[in-house]
């Protein structure tokens, strides 16, 4: 009986100890891994008056190198070093305040060795951009989440419509069938904002998937399913700003955690003049306004010059890569944060994951100012970028113009020639992500005046020229709105909701014209998948004449001739001037129709058509 009584008393005491609430309400990152190349780890600890605690740990291979108190008493920043001899397990962080102590168990995990994760993306891929809230609603039970500010408002253009990770996962067969090899989702991290949270770019928790999209586990499952189907996943991240509803906005660790202002809005808004960063004559006032001004009144500008913020953002990226096995990152608003930090961030990521790839959003119409942000491009100042890839906005701004105006010395298809003729400013132009539209721009079909022939020509150019092509969801359905209102180019994918009257995921739910567009993309993208000559081959172009543009993709094994006729009438093309690339070839096969051309000396080109010809001896 005494033994039983003693056991009961011990159990009650133990339960009482565990029932005591520790002062910690948040640890970020929540866990880490052994075997990382960089042994350093910064832990953000948040809790009421946590700075009053001293911290110690005893764990083989792990040392506590530094404890930093923030300006707020509710933070501690711990700097750990995880040696090569450390084993996976729970690291006991012992907190002590006077005679009171408690232990927080911090988990170190084993890294995955799966071969189909963290693969990177290259010019061999075709990216498919999806706005998750507008693609498909696979789980209506998460449309309204208790405690979150916005719920389902599908009748409102800027409201949440209910699309989620399950909806995307349920339609991976459709995406793969298009010829897609990589999926880029607009941000899926928590955006618990009071308005317009659907787009994802005002993050309120950098470590948590928005519950209206799903859970962290569901995101990992989505990545793994995509990988199992031969498709990669690119995560959209934001380092320039957070959402005003981010948990830390109620209790900043340091005053300079964000850029703060006493002026009234919009006096502290960014001037959005990206070129001031590379401008050798720019004023410091203009540079500061661009980099440190807020993107919007509900998007506080993060200060990457605060070393703890910098470490936080770098580790968040590393955490998502290792945790979810993503294959790439698309970094939003790349030129807006501190440029030296961004170079350091890229360098750190690529040192840890050499096969990984990162594309930065560089929304600039100028080719030199775009190239400024890409690694190894020539710059006049001392800045050395480490960014492997940039969004090619000069490409975007050029293609629709080239297809919708008469040809001349510098208009029509000559624009495409002139665009590529300036590739000398890029160290690796094939690394650029090229696109015809995205979630912030006019729909491409709108820009080409809803002309299906011009649309096909643009698709053919994008999928055969240099670069990493990106298709925006709905573009294959000929969505045709102006980007003057963002909501108009972020419409719901028809058929993604159970009560939709039209289901464009099926042939029966598409118009004849939509089906023609989809089949064109399928055929071209599927052909492209196995064509290393398009992925890594050389490019030679010839000056357009009579608004007919010819370029070749070639390597030691193959030569592909692309012929673009921008005229409203059919043309006969004499190929004599292309002899340096056509010599030795007698025939050609149309890559899309398999039709043979037995005489290469003269080629018949239908009006407003692109021919993709595989040359044969």
Active site residues: 332, 361
546: helix, coil or strand?
Answer: coil
301: helix, coil or strand?
Answer: strand
Q: 14: how many CB neighbours lie within 10 A of its CB?
A: 10
Contacts of 144 (CB under 8 A, 6+ apart): 151, 152
Please give the C-alpha separations between residue 281 and each of 275, 339, 373, 374, 381, in angstroms, as whole numbers. 11, 17, 18, 21, 11
Instruction: Name the E strands within 232-380.
Output: 232-237, 328-331, 357-360
The closest of 297, 328, 167 to 232, measured between CA atoms, is 328
Find out whether 345 and 387 touch, Cβ atoms under 8 Å: no
* DSSP of 484-514: TSGGGGSPPPTTSSTT-S--TTSGGGS-HHH
Residue identified by tokens 């100890």 is 17
Helix-strand-coil split of the chain, %, nearest 5: 30, 25, 45
Contacts of 266 (CB under 8 A, 6+ apart): 297
Find out whether 449 and 413 touch, Cβ atoms under 8 Å: no
Cα R_g (the chain), whole angstroms: 27
The closest of 304, 378, 381 to 345, measured between CA atoms, is 304
Distance of CA 234 to the CA centre of its chain: 5
SS (H, E, C) 80-93: EEECCCCCCEEEEE
Name the region of 542 (left: φ>0; alpha: ψ -120 to 50; beta: rest): beta
- β-pairing, 468-472 vs 127-130, is parallel
Find out whether 366 and 275 touch, Cβ atoms under 8 Å: yes
Quick one: angle between helices 216-228 and 307-324, nearest 10?
50
Is the four-CA dihedral 500, 504, 505, 510 of positive or negative sign?
Answer: positive
Please give the C-alpha separations between residue 155 and each of 195, 491, 492, 503, in angstroms, as whole numbers. 15, 11, 11, 19
Look at the chain and count its residues.
Answer: 617
Q: What angle do CA 103, 9, 23 make, to 5 degrees?
A: 25
> 444-450 — which CB contacts under 8 Å span 24+ positions?
444/400, 444/472, 444/475, 445/475, 445/478, 445/479, 445/480, 446/480, 446/481, 446/482, 447/400, 447/404, 448/400, 448/403, 448/404, 449/404, 450/478, 450/480
């Amino acid at each position: 009986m005494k033994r039983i009584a003693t056991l009961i008393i011990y159990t009650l005491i133990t339960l009482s100890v565990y029932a005591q609430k520790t002062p910690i309400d948040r640890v970020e990152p929540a866990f880490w891994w052994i075997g990382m190349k960089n042994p350093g780890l910064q832990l953000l600890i948040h809790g009421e008056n946590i700075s009053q605690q001293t911290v110690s740990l005893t764990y083989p291979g792990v040392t506590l190198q530094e404890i930093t108190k923030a300006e707020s008493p509710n933070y501690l920043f711990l700097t750990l070093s995880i040696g090569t001899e450390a084993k996976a397990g729970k690291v006991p962080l012992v907190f002590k305040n006077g005679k009171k102590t408690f232990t927080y168990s911090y988990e170190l995990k084993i890294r995955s060795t799966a071969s189909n994760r963290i693969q990177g993306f290259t010019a061999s891929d075709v990216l498919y951009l999806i706005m998750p809230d507008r693609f498909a609603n696979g789980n209506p039970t998460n449309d309204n989440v208790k405690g979150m500010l916005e719920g389902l408002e599908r009748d409102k253009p800027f409201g949440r419509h209910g699309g989620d990770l399950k909806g995307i996962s349920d339609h991976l067969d459709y995406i793969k069938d298009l010829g897609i090899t990589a999926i880029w989702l607009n941000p899926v991290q928590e955006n618990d904002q009071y308005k317009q949270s659907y787009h994802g770019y005002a993050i309120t928790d950098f470590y948590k998937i928005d519950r209206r999209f799903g859970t962290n586990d569901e995101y990992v499952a989505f990545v793994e399913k995509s990988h199992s189907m031969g498709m990669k996943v690119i995560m959209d991240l934001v380092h320039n700003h957070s959402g005003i509803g981010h948990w830390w906005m109620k209790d900043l660790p340091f005053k300079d955690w964000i850029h703060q202002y006493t002026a009234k809005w919009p006096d502290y808004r960014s001037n959005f003049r990206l070129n001031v960063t590379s401008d050798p004559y720019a004023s410091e006032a203009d540079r500061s306004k661009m980099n440190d001004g807020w993107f919007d009144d509900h998007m506080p500008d993060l200060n990457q010059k605060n070393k703890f913020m910098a470490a936080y953002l770098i580790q968040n990226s590393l955490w998502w890569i290792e945790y979810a096995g993503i294959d790439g990152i698309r970094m939003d608003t790349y030129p807006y944060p501190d440029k030296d930090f961004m170079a350091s961030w890229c360098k750190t990521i690529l040192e840890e994951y050499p096969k990984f790839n990162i594309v930065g959003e560089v929304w600039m119409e100028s080719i030199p100012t775009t190239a400024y942000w890409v690694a190894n491009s020539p710059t006049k100042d001392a800045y050395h970028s480490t960014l492997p890839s940039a969004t090619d906005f000069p490409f975007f701004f050029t293609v629709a113009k080239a297809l919708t105006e008469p040809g001349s010395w510098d208009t029509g298809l000559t624009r495409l020639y002139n665009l590529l003729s300036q590739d000398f400013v890029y160290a690796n132009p094939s690394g650029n992500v090229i696109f015809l539209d995205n979630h912030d721009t006019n729909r491409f079909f709108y820009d080409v005046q809803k002309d299906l022939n011009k649309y096909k020509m643009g698709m053919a150019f994008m999928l055969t020229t240099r670069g990493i092509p990106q298709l925006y969801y709905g573009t294959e359905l000929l969505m045709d709105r102006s980007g003057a209102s963002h909501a108009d180019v972020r419409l719901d994918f028809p058929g993604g909701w159970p009560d939709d009257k039209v289901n464009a995921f099926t042939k029966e739910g598409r118009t004849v014209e939509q089906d023609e567009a989809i089949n064109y993309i399928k055929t071209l993208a599927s052909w492209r998948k196995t064509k290393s000559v398009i992925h890594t081959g050389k490019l030679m172009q010839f000056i357009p004449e009579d608004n007919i543009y010819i370029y070749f993709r070639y390597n030691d094994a193959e030569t592909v001739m692309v012929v673009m006729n921008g005229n409203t009438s059919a043309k006969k093309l004499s190929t004599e001037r292309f002899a340096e690339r056509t010599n030795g070839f007698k025939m050609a096969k149309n890559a899309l129709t398999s039709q043979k051309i037995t005489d290469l000396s003269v080629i018949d080109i239908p009006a407003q058509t692109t021919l993709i010809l595989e040359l044969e001896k």
